[in-house]
Structure 1
Amino acid sequence: MTQSPATPIPPPTERRRLREAGSLTQAQIAERVGVSRRTVRAWETGRAAPSGREGEAYLDLLRSLEERREDQERSGDRDMTERHSGTGAEGDGLVGDAAADPTGPHPGRPLTPAQAFDALYAFCAPALVRQTYLLTGRRELARESVERAFEIAWQRWPEVARDPDPAGWVRATAYDFALSPWHRFRPRYRHPEPPPADTADRLLLDVLLDLTPSQRRTLLLYDGVGLDLPETAAETEATTPAAANRILHARAAVATRMPTLSDPDDLHRRLAELASAERLRAAAAPAVREGSERRARFWTRAAIAFTVALIGTTALTLRTAPTRYEPPVPPGATVHGVPPPVAPGPLSHKEQRLRDKLRSEPHAGPERLAPQPF
């Protein structure tokens, strides 16, 4: 395919989109064209333009991918294909199976949400578990992080399905869960797991785990997964210069302890080999969906129970609360200068005579009170 007005060179973003729509990695494109993966990355980021015999082979490949995409558009499944084949991840041991068909067994028929989720899970979960293992150094935590991320994705499936990069959405969620500092307080993760059997793999994993979490994540996305610098910065929520500095510092730390990995291509290859050396299996997609639904039901019931308890407490408070304001009784205070009250004591002799006299008088009524002359 020669360059001519009839066959213009696609822009860099279109080159990557065509590759992702065809479920191909940068390494596979480089192998077919006969160039390095770094060259393919430069073509897709716009830092270089395809030229020469390799450039013509690359453009021929892009044209075949474009024709395949047009066939998919005519068959009515273009949206679902782009939704579930755009992983944004490159490499052999760190990405999904390129031979997998994320459109499902019936490309001419619209997929149900469950079928679309299962296709995305089958395409991304195996590689994502390997990536998370390199991020944490723990096999069980890697599986748990990926399953938890897909459970959240299934709970928010309308949002994830409309996302331009659903695999990137799930990857960011899995990375965030895996790097949570709260795992250190869980009893099952307080002790280290057995290291890899190979000495070189064990050394590389130790070097990765000695990096800071931000450097480790940035290095894995850029040199392991194969994202370009702006995408790496966006996914790590950092500026482009900050992401570049993290990559440089991480590469320098790796090269200091392992000089043979000073070349980024060698580092990418070793990361893929280390990830592929571990037999990491993710749960089946239906089990993840069932777990997500079970977790959603649990929290829904918990929310309902909390709401009922809150309503009952409020009703009880309204039932027992006073209907009018009652001022509080002030505390007692001592008053000085007032004699204390005296209880009645025994009558004196004079008082007893007066009492007896009053009782002995036969008269009753007002005349009793009439004054008598002396």
Structure 2
Amino acid sequence: MTPAAAFDVLYARTAPALVRQAYLLTGRRTLALESVERAFHLAWNRWPEVIADPDPIGWVRAAAYEYALSPWHRLLRTHKHADKPPADPADRILMDAMLALPPVHRRTVLLYDGIGLDLPDTAAETEATTPTAGSRLLRAHAALAARIPELSAVPPEKQSAVLRHRLGALRPAVPLEPRPAAAVRGSGEHRTRLLGRSVLGLTAMIAAATAYTVATAPTEYIPPLAPGANVSGVPPLSGPQHLTERSRELHDKLRNDPEAGPARIAPGVE
């Protein structure tokens, strides 16, 4: 089987269920479809790693859950509000109760009660210890039982079975059909090509900027000029007094006719 054919088989077997699980995590159809497609894009880009993994489905599921529960989606207008709630009142109560849980508790409930993983596998996929995963599950069951009458009427040891049945029977009010495998694989390859071109363009810009800086940078150190400062104790600038009109006339007369006048102006040698 070629890598593309193996990818298509994995996608066909797991994508519909993963879209439904991502919808139960987020309550948003667009985000659920986007999360699963991004997870399979990542899987196709790392296909040798994914196909060698002992649990390829778990690899893709973890990537889809991480993307679906990312807090950055709250900043996007398209993902701020949940979709139309389910038509059945019981399904609507269950969906509201699930979305009211903290994201890590929601993920733990879906893995343990919705999918049926055991507690160690649930703890491993949520990156927690087994006691921590068990504590989260108990707190999530208590929070769900406070909002779901059907769950509060059964003892705690039977709540997992009731939740598994209710999560599996929930009917969303929006369609959750994923795109064909070939389209997802092609869009992933297109994103990879665009990312490669962007990286090459950014690298070329950095190289050009570096070359321009090297060419225009000074080759020796030029010390900066010291800033000016006030100096105290220095007398103000002084000089000869300005000549009046009368003084200027006398000055010019002495310069033009130095030997005329009294003997004291041009003394002789005795």
What TM-score, normalized to structure 1? Answer: 0.62
Whether 1:147 and 2:41 are equivalent positions in the alignment is: no
Are 1:130 and 1:142, in contact at CA under 8 Å, matched by a contact in 2?
A: yes
Residue matched to 1:297 = 193
Residue matched to 1:337 = 235
Gapped regions of structure 1 (runs ≥ 5): 1-110, 360-371
**Using CA pairs below 8 Å that are at least 6 residues apart, which structure has the higher relative contact order?**
2
Equivalent of 2:59 in 169, 174, 183: 169
**Partner Cα distance (1:166, 1:134) in 2:** 21
Whether 1:250 and 2:140 are equivalent positions in the alignment is: yes
Deviation of the 1:220 alpha carbon = 0.6
Residue matched to 1:351 = 251
Whether 1:180 and 2:58 are equivalent positions in the alignment is: no
**Partner Cα distance (1:190, 1:230) in 2:** 33
Instruction: Write out aligned runs for 1:80-91 (5 A).
Output: none
When residues 188 and 276 of structure 1 are mapped into structure 2, their CA distance, relative to the original with a 3 A threshold, is closer
Residue matched to 2:263 = none
Equivalent of 1:328 in 224, 229, 239: 224
Deviation of the 1:252 alpha carbon = 2.5
When residues 343 and 328 of structure 1 are mapped into structure 2, their CA distance, relative to the original with a 3 A threshold, is farther
When residues 334 and 190 of structure 1 are mapped into structure 2, their CA distance, relative to the original with a 3 A threshold, is closer
Residue matched to 1:156 = 46
Count of equivalent residues? 254
Equivalent of 1:269 in 157, 160, 165: 165
Residue matched to 2:212 = 316
When residues 278 and 228 of structure 1 are mapped into structure 2, their CA distance, relative to the original with a 3 A threshold, is farther
Instruction: Write out aligned runs for 1:204-283 (5 A).
Output: 204-261=94-151, 262=154, 263=158, 264-274=160-170, 279-283=175-179
Equivalent of 2:19 in 118, 129, 139: 129
**Partner Cα distance (1:312, 1:266) in 2:** 64
Deviation of the 1:272 alpha carbon = 0.8
What TM-score, normalized to structure 2? Answer: 0.84
> CA-to-partner distance for each residue in 1:280-327, whole Å, 9 max, x for gaps?
111111111111112112222222222222222222222222222222
Whether 1:189 and 2:90 are equivalent positions in the alignment is: no
Deviation of the 1:255 alpha carbon = 2.9
Deviation of the 1:337 alpha carbon = 1.8
Are 2:26 and 2:99, in contact at CA under 8 Å, matched by a contact in 1?
A: yes
When residues 156 and 344 of structure 1 are mapped into structure 2, their CA distance, relative to the original with a 3 A threshold, is farther
SS at match of 2:66: helix
Are 2:24 and 2:95, in contact at CA under 8 Å, matched by a contact in 1?
A: yes
When residues 195 and 334 of structure 1 are mapped into structure 2, their CA distance, relative to the original with a 3 A threshold, is closer
Deviation of the 1:216 alpha carbon = 1.0
Percent identical among aligned pairs is 53
AA of the residue aligned to 1:297: R
> CA-to-partner distance for each residue in 1:166-221, whole Å, 9 max, x for gaps?
11111011111111111111111223311011111111111111211111110110
AA of the residue aligned to 1:211: L
Deviation of the 1:276 alpha carbon = 7.6
